[in-house]
Structure 1
Amino acid sequence: MSRPDLPASSAEHPATRMLRALRPVSGWLVRRHFRVVVHHTERVPSVGGVILAANHTGIVDGPLLAVLSPRPVHALTKREMFEGRLGGFLRRTGQIPLDRLHADPGAVRSSLRVLRDGGVVGIFPEGTRSSGRFDRCHPGAAYLAMVTGAPVVPVTFTGTRGAPGSSLPARGEAVDVVFGRAWRTPQQPWPRTREQVGATAALLREHLLSELDSALSQTRRSLSEPPPAGQSEDDPESGLVEA
């Protein structure tokens, strides 16, 4: 029996239809503002559940993922964004509220529903804007892959952080979005131990870093320094960290 509080992602669902309808105009607007190049969209499977795991350096990463992905995305989005008029829009387009600072079973259930319906979940494993190098990597993407067997496709953003003192890239700034090679882990039945999740998350992080390096080499870009104090948010002391 379907749960009305969980976003479905089949082609017939109103949230996915709205996403599809908005993407052409949104993409046109993005390309008028930034010099955008999107690489290797063919690496995103055209059907079935998919997890897009992106690095996170700028405030526009989430919107760009939604607009430039080859398929509509239901992204895990901090719950503070679901206030006011923007919150209504996010809900209508099937975005997933996330409590970043505490365990959030509701967000997990919503994500699993999307994947089992054959849709796309977007997630930023770093948890908040940072260096973009996965210095901290939370295990959520790995856990979703373990439960569903869905492939994880890395996404690398470059050029999405503004100049010092600005949270937005300047008009005309070059932005590259690179979709990486998919990573898979065998679907694992319940129970899944913390050790299993941690080991799987470590393997995924290695793949994310490898694809990040490949994307930077391909585009001849580099990542900016970490955002200055005040431009990143509190992040729970969990997940893998750079040694």
Structure 2
Amino acid sequence: MRAPTTQRDLDPHHLERPRTDRTPHPPRATLRGLRPISRWLLRRRYDVRVTGAGRVPAAGPVILAANHVGVIDGPLLAIFAPRPVHALTKIEMFQGRLGRFLHLSGQIPLDRMVADPAAVKQAVRVLRDGGVVGVFPEGRRGAGELDRFHRGAAYLALVTGAPVVPVILIGTREPGGHTGSLPRRGARIELVIGAPFTLEQMPWPRRRADVETASLRLRDRMLDDLREALVTTGRRLPGPLPSGELEPDPSGGVTGTTT
């Protein structure tokens, strides 16, 4: 389905704050076209298992919120989610050929170190157009235990009314593995999808305290899903990154400390 291109085509919500009537929808053709071949290629190397795919609504706006363990988390989410995903991706990745590919595949560049209204508007545009946005609330790779949790996913849910669907990633980094390391060939990788979690849509202005409360509710829900996923799969997370490999993280999280 094409993106709306005229004022008459636009959902009236695009005129609400933050306004997205002049924000272009990220590209979609490459993302949709490459997903089948990408799934085939990755499954030649890894044993990728997706549990709970039917929990993702088949239509309408959806926010996929995932824990962040390894360097391939973003590609896995975009490729194996039941629907094409426009993931908020750190702006440092948008360089050279990789950056061009990420742009063409519809991923959304995000400057994590400052408030980034352009990224927020692009994500809101996708959701108001009935698409899927991927968010990693931890903000950086780590143990994947949700110790650090940012407000972005809850904010998008409060703005758009889109349900948040938790995704627990397991096996994307080996225990003790480095920040950029890949799992060994043949490794089993799990994407465990939880039931949708709905936060009541909140009109502008949205107070910081309201977004923080919603974020803590979402984190509690994701922690429950994380514990359940580890039990049902019989797996465990890889533990912290080696010393000195944890990326700097901006203030603004509702839990944890800045490193």
Distance in 1 between the 2:135 and 2:171 partners? 19
**TM-score, scaled relative to structure 2:** 0.87
Q: CA contact under 8 A between 1:136 and 1:241: conserved in structure 2? A: yes
Say whether residues 1:6 and 2:24 are aligned partners. Answer: yes
State percent identity of aligned pairs: 54
Q: CA contact under 8 A between 1:163 and 1:169: conserved in structure 2? A: no
Q: CA contact under 8 A between 1:41 and 1:69: conserved in structure 2? A: yes
User: Which consecutive segments of 4 or more residues in structure 1 shift more than 6 A?
Assistant: none
Matches within 5 A, 1:215-234: 215-234=229-248
Residue 156 (structure 2) aligns with: 144
Distance in 1 between the 2:246 and 2:172 partners? 14
**TM-aligned CA distance change 1:88 to 1:185, over 3 Å:** same
SS for the counterpart of 1:154 is strand
Deviation for aligned residue 1:40? 0.7
Matching residue within 124, 130, 135 for 2:136 = 124
SS for the counterpart of 2:28 is helix
For residue 86 of structure 1, what is the amino acid of its counterpart?
L
For residue 169 of structure 1, what is the amino acid of its counterpart?
P
Q: CA contact under 8 A between 1:141 and 1:152: conserved in structure 2? A: yes
Residue 72 (structure 1) aligns with: 84
Deviation for aligned residue 1:224? 1.4
Residue 197 (structure 2) aligns with: 183
Q: CA contact under 8 A between 1:6 and 1:109: conserved in structure 2? A: no
**TM-score, scaled relative to structure 1:** 0.93
Matches within 5 A, 1:49-68: 49-68=61-80
Distance in 2 between the 1:140 and 1:27 partners? 28
Deviation for aligned residue 1:163? 5.0
Distance in 2 between the 1:183 and 1:72 partners? 19
Residue 197 (structure 1) aligns with: 211
Distance in 2 between the 1:219 and 1:81 partners? 31
**TM-aligned CA distance change 1:132 to 1:163, over 3 Å:** closer
For residue 54 of structure 1, what is the amino acid of its counterpart?
A
Q: CA contact under 8 A between 1:82 and 1:90: conserved in structure 2? A: yes
Deviation for aligned residue 1:213? 1.0
Matching residue within 90, 95, 101 for 2:107 = 95
SS for the counterpart of 2:238 is coil
Distance in 2 between the 1:178 and 1:79 partners? 27
Q: CA contact under 8 A between 2:108 and 2:123: conserved in structure 1? A: yes
- Over the aligned positions, Cα root-mean-square deviation in angstroms equals 1.6
Distance in 2 between the 1:133 and 1:163 partners? 14
Q: CA contact under 8 A between 1:125 and 1:138: conserved in structure 2? A: yes
> Which segments of 5 or more consecutive residues in structure 1 lack a partner in the other structure?
9-14
Say whether residues 1:162 and 2:169 are aligned partners. Answer: no
Q: CA contact under 8 A between 1:38 and 1:176: conserved in structure 2? A: yes
Residue 16 (structure 1) aligns with: 28
Q: How many residues align?
A: 237
Deviation for aligned residue 1:7? 2.4
Report which stretch shifted further, 69-78 or 211-220.
211-220
